Amino acid sequence: MQTLINEDFTPQTLQPDPFLVVDNLSKVYPTKSGDYTVLDQVNLTVSEGEFVCVIGHSGCGKSTLLDMVSGFRQPSSGEVRLQGKQITQPGPDRMVVFQNYSLLPWKTAFENVYLAVNSVYPDKPKKDKEDIVHKHLAMVGLEEAANKKPGQLSGGMKQRVSIARALAIYPQVLILDEPFGALDAITKEELQEELLQIWTEHRVTVLMITHDIDEALFLADRVVMMTNGPAAKIGEILDIPFPRPRIRTQIMEDPHYYTLRNQALDFLFSRFATHD
Amino acid sequence: MTIHPSLRPASSSAFVETIQKHAKLLIPPIVCTAVLLTVWQLLCLAPDTKMPGPIRVLQQTYELILNPFYDDGGTSKGLGWQIWISLQRVMIGYSLAAIVGIALGVLIGMSQFMRRGLDPMIQVLRTVPPLAWLPLALGIFQSSDPAALFVIFITAIWPIVINTALGVQQIPQDYNNVAKVLRLSGREYFFNILVPSTVPYVFGGLRIGIGLAWLAIVAAEMLKAEGGIGFFIWDAYNAGNENSMSEIIIAVLYVGLVGLALDRLVSYLGSLIVSEN
Ligand SMILES: Nc1ncnc2c1ncn2[C@@H]1O[C@H](COP(=O)(O)OP(=O)(O)OP(=O)(O)O)[C@@H](O)[C@H]1O
Ligand SMILES: [Mg+2]
């Protein structure tokens, strides 16, 4: 796999830092009625190539947490480190699949992906860059729609382009904020499977927010469950032991699946139920 | 155009239908114009009015209307030539306004300092009417042609600046986020995000600008200009002969028609480019 940061530059600490570290991370928003603490001293480590889903009630601070990993927001205290380097701003090593696709409407699917590849690998020959784009559009099954503009694509296709764009630049971490929330059930399952397959090929580390417990159980190595805000923390982390490659029907027949599912439901709807 | 639909043989019902549809759109303006012309004609029947009625206007100007491209040398030219001279002036002044206006608008849209710094000035200057700029411009340039260009330029530039700046400011946060995470270079950002997402706003400004540029033409050509439709109007007025009023009326009508055509042209160009996106 290609990496953007040379391994040699990893600082030599006594204990080697894990791949991605969320270290005592807090976020406080100043509001008119005083400070509002969204996240309070959150700690999490993620190893390279891991698939982590974050689940929690609306407004608990999931987007805030991932925005501090992607660098779009700054922590009030604590820090996020990727391979020992503190994250201070957004960058292509932590590519984001945005919730509303964020494709440029005046560019075709191909051009949208090409813009990303071209800006991250400006020195590659044009032919190579085009090959990368075609390869990734093919991965999400969109070769035929390469020359269509986002306006002519369905929601699922737009999200596919967005995923192709994100992976075509070979990020170290892929961040997805509720990527499939707006899609119908069938498209959603198709995209989950495509995402898993691409993740297997790229061995990219994935952080993904979802509201869907079954989605998290199908995709993730670990499911991070957050307590309710204000001052949310990580309440519990579920290890998902199903072997890969995963087949949806097999997993759902596994009795362990329901133990995990109930554990998650219990966490979300009994211990941290919302009262509205 | 004025053939009544019922007088046409009903060879095909689709044909009749289109005629009827057009008739619905055409009849009201025809009726209203006819009523207005009649009222105008009736008012001008008063014995000692200086204002010619529509029939008299046509009688006194049909030679002008029929020969738009005569040229007797000097500034004695047909209305077609006069309009052409004015259009050239407007095109030069307007093009300069477009170039400077878009550049200034991008600058103001991107920099909060510039926005805060220049906004008060723009708000004041944009309300200054073209006629007020003319003496100043004549004083500066000491010559009527550059002064006319300046008046057109300064009248047309403000909506272009303001709309471009607005367009730059409204670039959706989503696109800026994409630019940030990809760390697009300034050049890449400019061509891939800033320009395409600002184009509709810029064309809005350009459309208002062309209207204003043309509005300024009569003022710009008021003094000592070398021909042009505005010059023609003032020249006819100064000549003060019995045809003067009719000539002015026809020229004013032409100014209106050309202005409409310019407005439509710019918005058509705009729609071409915007639908490209
Ligand atoms: N810029 C801001 N200023 C003040 N408060 C904010 C700001 N951004 C977010 N918040 C608050 O922080 C809390 C967490 O927001 P966040 O968007 O991270 O939640 P979330 O878990 O992603 O919710 P959802 O599942 O609905 O997307 C919310 O209560 C929100 O109102
Ligand atoms: Mg969110």
pLDDT, tens digit, 9 for 90 and up, residues B109-157: 999 999 999 999 999 999 998 889 988 998 999 888 899 999 999 999 9
**Tokens matching residue A88:** 């201070």
Residue type, position A182, single letter: A
Q: How far is Cα B65 from Cα B257, in angstroms, rounded to an integer? A: 14
Over 60: is that where the pLDDT of B224 sits?
yes
The closest ligand to the CA of A31 turns out to be 1
Q: Give the pLDDT mean for B217-245.
A: 85
Which residue has the least CA distance to atom 14 on ligand 1?
A61
For residue A49, the model assigns a pLDDT of 92
For residue B77, the model assigns a pLDDT of 85
Q: Give the pLDDT mean for B82-90.
A: 92
Which residues sit opposite A238 in a β-bridge? A223
Task: In chain A, count H helices and then E strands.
Answer: 8, 10
B181 in contact with A at a CB cutoff of 8 Å?
A: yes
Q: Sort strands A94-97 and A173-177 into parallel, antiparallel or unpaired.
A: parallel
Report the separation in Å between the CA atom of A60 and the middle of ligand 1, taken as the mean of its atom positions.
7
Check: CB of residue B215 under 8 Å from CB of residue B159. no
Task: Give the model confidence (pLDDT) of A211-248 as tens digits.
Answer: 999 999 999 999 999 998 788 888 889 999 998 888 98
Q: How far is Cα B227 from Cα B211, in angstroms, rounded to an integer? A: 21
A vs B: CB pairs below 8 A: 52
Please count the other Cβ atoms lying within 10 Å of the Cβ belonging to residue A174: 23
Residues of chain A neighbouring B184 (CB-CB closer than 8 A): 115, 119
Q: Give the pLDDT mean for B68-75.
A: 83
Which of A115, A118, A149, A165 should we substitute to test contact with B (largest number of B Cβ atoms within 10 Å)?
A: A115
Complex ipTM tops 0.90: no
For residue B94, the model assigns a pLDDT of 95
Which residues sit opposite A42 in a β-bridge? A25
Residues of chain A neighbouring B193 (CB-CB closer than 8 A): 104
* Residue of chain A whose alpha carbon sits nearest to that of B275: A106
Ordered per-residue pLDDT tens for chain A, 276 residues: 454 545 455 454 556 678 999 999 999 999 898 889 999 999 999 999 999 999 999 889 999 999 999 999 999 999 999 999 999 999 999 999 987 889 999 999 999 999 999 999 999 999 999 999 999 999 888 989 999 999 999 988 999 999 999 999 999 999 999 998 888 888 899 889 989 988 888 889 999 999 999 999 999 999 999 998 788 888 889 999 998 888 988 888 888 999 999 999 988 887 777 765
| B182 closest CB neighbour out of A106, A107, A119 | A119
Which residue has the least CA distance to atom 6 on ligand 1?
A29
Residues 6+ apart with CB under 8 A from A199: A51, A174, A206
B9 pLDDT band, cuts 50/70/90, is low
The whole-angstrom distance between B184's CA and the closest CA on chain A is: 6
Q: What are phi and psi of B183, to 5 degrees?
A: 50, 55
Task: Give the model confidence (pLDDT) of B35-63 as tens digits.
Answer: 999 999 998 888 778 888 898 899 988 88
| A105 closest CB neighbour out of B177, B184, B277 | B277
B1 pLDDT band, cuts 50/70/90, is very low
Which of A261, A212, A107 is CA-nearest to residue B188? A107
pTM of the model: 0.78
Report the separation in Å between the CA atom of B169 and the middle of ligand 2, taken as the mean of its atom positions.
25
The closest ligand to the CA of A67 turns out to be 1
* Residue of chain A whose alpha carbon sits nearest to that of B184: A119
Could B174 and A94 be called an inter-chain contact, meaning their C-beta atoms sit closer than 8 Å?
no
Q: What are phi and psi of A73, to 5 degrees?
A: -125, 155
| A90 closest CB neighbour out of B174, B180, B196 | B180
Write out residues with Cβ below 6 Å of ligand 1: A 29, 31, 36, 38, 56, 58-64, 229
* Residue of chain B whose alpha carbon sits nearest to that of A103: B175
Residues 6+ apart with CB under 8 A from B140: B147, B150
**Cα–Cα–Cα angle for A117, A107, A201, rounded to 5 degrees:** 35
Q: Give the pLDDT mean for B189-212.
A: 92
